[in-house]
Amino acid sequence: MNLDNIRIVLVHTSHPGNIGAVARAMKNMGIGKLSLVAPRQYPDEQANWRAVSAVDVLESAIVTETLEDAIASCQFVVGTSARGRRIPWPLLDPRQCAERIAPATGHGEVAVVFGREDRGLTNDELQLCNLHLNIPTSEDYSSLNLAMAVQVVCYELRMLKVFPGLPTRDAEQWDTPFSNSENMEHFYTHLEETLVDLEFLDPAAPRQLMSRMRRLYSRVRLDAMELNILRGILTQTQKWVTKARKQ
């Protein structure tokens, strides 16, 4: 487990005090990379006050306008989700998720994304993630403060750092770096264009095709060479479609 390769991402945080509390929770567990996507009020003295001795985490935080920008360089992305979705994605609890994250930190940067305090992440934002994480709270009172949620996840990650278990299959040496989020988004755009060219995907009635394709490729994780091969296949497919239409 390389905690230096873990980035906590907060999306559209509404209260600056919550940002400071998250920074404190992160530093407690030895995690220092924080990204903020379009925070409503930041920088702010309330954030510094709540961070206490973790102001350095705030000072090094990266602020972006979009989630895509925040995770562009990341090779593995986990999104927190509190509710069921129309199309179920791989959904793990914090301990299971930490076990998946641990080997991924040896290959590149990992992002753990937390959504808005009142309604979490949108479906579109969750589709940018490889896995979805859910904290199994009591049905009597399921609401978790943002900093509490971050603390739970960071604790499980730290436990694998302090008490490393047996290596998983993902811990084996890989000959090529895994593709990052930015390149995967280019691939999904290319894939959708090709499916439209083939008339396999109807833009007027796409149903859930691209969501399911995202789920498929997020589950298997592509390395850079595999992604280039697939992009090459898509390019050649588009060329043959163009030739066929001219005949």
Query: Is the separation of the CB atoms in 174 and 76 below 8 Å?
Result: no
Q: What does the pLDDT read at residue 86?
A: 61
Is the pLDDT at 246 greater than 50? The verdict is: yes
In the chain, residues under CATH classification 1.10.8.590 are 181-246
Dmax over CA atoms of the chain, in Å, equals: 70
Dihedral sign of CA atoms 137, 38, 224, 191 in order: positive
Helix/strand/coil for 6 = strand
Query: SS3 helix, strand, coil % of the chain, rounded to 5?
Result: 50, 15, 35
State both tokens at 175: 């000959």
Q: Say if pTM beats, i.e. exceeds, 0.85.
A: no
| CB neighbour list of residue 8: distance below 8 Å, 6 or more residues apart | 22, 26, 31, 33, 34, 35, 111, 112, 114, 150, 154
CA gap 220, 92 in Å, rounded: 16
pLDDT of 58 higher than 80: yes
pLDDT for 139 equals 86
- Measured between alpha carbons, how far is 127 from 79 in angstroms, rounded to an integer? 9
Helix (H, G, I), strand (E, B) or coil at 62: strand
d(CA 211, CA 62): 29
Question: Does the pLDDT of residue 92 top 50, yes or no?
Answer: yes
For residue 184, pLDDT over 50 is answered with yes
Confidence check: pLDDT of 205 > 50: yes
CATH number given to 3-171: 3.40.1280.10
The tokens 């705030």 sit on which residue?
58
CATH C-level class of 181-246: mainly alpha
Please report the DSSP string for 81-106 in residue order. --S--SS---EE-HHHHHHHHHHHTT
CATH 3.40.1280.10 domain span(s) along the chain:
3-171
Q: Give the separation between CA 154 and CA 25, rounded to whole angstroms.
A: 8
> CA–CA distance from 146 to each of 20, 49, 216 (Å)?
11, 17, 29
pLDDT in tens, 7-48: 999 999 999 999 999 999 999 999 999 999 999 999 999 999
Contact 18, 146 (CB under 8 A): yes
Q: Model confidence at 50, in pLDDT bands (50, 70, 90)?
A: very high
pLDDT digit string, tens, across residues 208-245: 899 999 989 988 888 899 999 999 999 999 999 999 99
The C-alpha atoms of residue 29 and residue 156 are separated, in whole angstroms, by: 9
